[in-house]
């Protein structure tokens, strides 16, 4: 570590992962600690917000301690503390935010609020040293589906977004209905491996000339097929159904991205967010990038889902861009990308 290095402690608690990480110069991970609550929430079939907040309270300081220890530094070596302030569950966000504010109040270190969605995009910077804006990014998670034009480290424009359900929500919901449980996305991905992607057909919602998405009709057409088969006493072929459904969603996402490339002329494309771990999505984008000569990036699996290294990376670019928040920074549960 040299004097010129900028060291950021990142803190994340927007949903059901408590995480802390130390990142150097926005690109080099010195530690990356994640305490996931997913196994605990499985018994309820989804995240219970109040319980998530309480578990964050128990985990937050041990995570921060471990992140500093693993990086071989103390809080005094940190240049700034970056923390997710939205979007997410308000009670969960407040735990990370309060911990970060406490650290900054005691040490006098700058506080940097980070938009969780920008964090997901920055996961790509941690994996690909050569990647720099500008590029197009498909941000797909449990609550968001957006095509974002990343113009610089600080400037972003949403080119298209879902008008109803997020892609992750559409996958999670159907996973629950076909009995795969929670978390639905990874289980659905596994269930569909080797399946026939053309065995079942689903609705396709045309959104005219826009880059917007709609997944509620697709979800309803999947539900109708499941119900019809059940009424006839027939079982769905789980593997083929999971494969066809995910392939259908992945193809829509990839087709929209190709349209965005044609509209903007930008041929560098990134994936970000929890659903970018999906193998059907990655395959659809791999195929599209070969066919349309795109430069495609997606983060390694651990950095696709919630983590604090991506928050520290986003915090670095905010910090060197001059952002510093005061201790009145509040949680913003509905924060949008680009803000
Ligand atoms: O980005 P993330 O960790 O949290 C949010 O900010 O929402 O994304 C969580 C979402 C969930 O919907 C989860 O089911 C989904 O990412 N997910 C996947 C896979 N891994 C995680 N969806 C499909 N296939 C996967 N392999």
Q: Which residues line ligand 1 (CB under 6 A)?
A: 15, 141-143, 168, 171-172, 183-186, 189, 273-275, 277-278, 305-306
Strands in the chain per DSSP E: 7-12, 17-24, 28-36, 80-86, 111-115, 135-140, 145-150, 156-161, 268-272, 295-297
Ligand 1 centroid distance, CA of 149 (Å) = 22
Is residue 1 in some structural domain?
no
Q: Which CATH number belongs to the domain containing residue 116 in this structure?
A: 3.30.420.40
Same domain, 112 and 144: no
Ligand 1 centroid distance, CA of 202 (Å) = 21
Give residue 265's pLDDT. 98
Is residue 172 in some structural domain?
yes
Contact 114, 121 (CB under 8 A): no
Give residue 293's pLDDT. 98
Which residues, including other chains, have CB under 8 Å from residue 331's CB and lie 6 or more apart? 85, 86, 88, 90, 93, 94, 97
Report mean pLDDT in 10-residue bins for the chain, 339 residues: 91 97 98 95 91 97 98 98 97 98 98 97 98 98 94 95 95 94 93 98 85 94 94 94 98 97 98 97 98 98 97 98 96 91
Is residue 257 in some structural domain?
yes
Same domain, 309 and 258: no
Residues in a beta bridge with 29: 23
Same domain, 92 and 161: no
Give residue 119's pLDDT. 98
Give residue 98's pLDDT. 98
Same domain, 137 and 107: no
Same domain, 113 and 259: no
Residue with CA closest to ligand 1 atom 23: 185
Structural domain span for residue 16 = 7-121+304-320
Residue with CA closest to ligand 1 atom 11: 142
Give residue 209's pLDDT. 86
Tokens of 18: 């408590």
Which residues, including other chains, have CB under 8 Å from residue 126's CB and lie 6 or more apart? 23, 27, 29, 299, 303, 309, 310, 313
Ligand 1 centroid distance, CA of 32 (Å) = 19
For residues 314 and 124, what is the distance between their CA atoms, to the nearest angstrom?
A: 11
Residue with CA closest to ligand 1 atom 12: 142
Same domain, 268 and 149: yes
Give residue 208's pLDDT. 82
Same domain, 312 and 251: no
Which residues, including other chains, have CB under 8 Å from residue 57's CB and lie 6 or more apart? 95
Tokens of 300: 């390694």
Sign of the alpha-carbon dihedral angle for 22, 137, 242, 205: positive
């Amino acid at each position: 570590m040299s004097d010129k290095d900028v060291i950021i402690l990142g803190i994340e608690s927007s949903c059901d992962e408590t995480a802390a990480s130390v990142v150097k110069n926005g690109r080099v991970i010195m530690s990356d600690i994640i305490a996931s609550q997913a196994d605990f929430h499985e018994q309820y079939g989804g995240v219970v917000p109040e319980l998530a907040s309480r578990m964050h309270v128990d985990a937050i300081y041990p995570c921060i301690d471990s992140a500093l220890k693993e990086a071989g530094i103390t809080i005094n070596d940190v240049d700034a503390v970056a923390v997710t302030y939205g979007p997410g569950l308000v009670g969960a966000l407040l735990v990370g935010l309060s911990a970060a504010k406490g650290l900054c109040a005691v040490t006098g270190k700058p506080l940097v609020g980070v938009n969780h969605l920008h964090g997901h995009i920055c996961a790509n910077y941690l994996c690909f040293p050569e990647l720099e804006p500008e590029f197009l990014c498909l941000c797909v998670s449990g609550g968001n589906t957006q095509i974002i034009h990343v113009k610089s480290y600080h400037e972003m424009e949403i080119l298209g977004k879902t008008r109803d359900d997020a892609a992750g929500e559409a996958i999670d919901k159907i996973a629950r209905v076909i009995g795969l449980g929670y978390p639905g996305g990874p289980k659905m991905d596994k269930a569909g491996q080797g399946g026939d992607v053309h065995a079942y057909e689903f609705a396709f919602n045309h959104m005219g000339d826009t880059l917007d998405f709609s997944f509620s009709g697709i979800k309803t057409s999947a539900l109708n097929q499941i119900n019809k088969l059940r009424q006839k006493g027939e079982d769905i072929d789980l593997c083929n159904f999971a494969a066809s459904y995910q392939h259908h969603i992945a193809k829509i996402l990839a087709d929209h991205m190709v349209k965005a490339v044609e509209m903007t002329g930008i041929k560098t494309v990134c994936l970000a967010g929890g659903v970018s771990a999906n193998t059907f999505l990655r395959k659809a984008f791999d195929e599209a990038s070969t066919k349309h000569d795109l430069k495609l990036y997606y983060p390694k699996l651990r950095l696709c889902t919630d983590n604090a290294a991506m928050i520290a990376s986003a915090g670095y670019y905010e910090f060197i861009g001059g952002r510093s928040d005061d201790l009145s920074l509040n949680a913003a549960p509905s924060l949008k990308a680009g803000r």
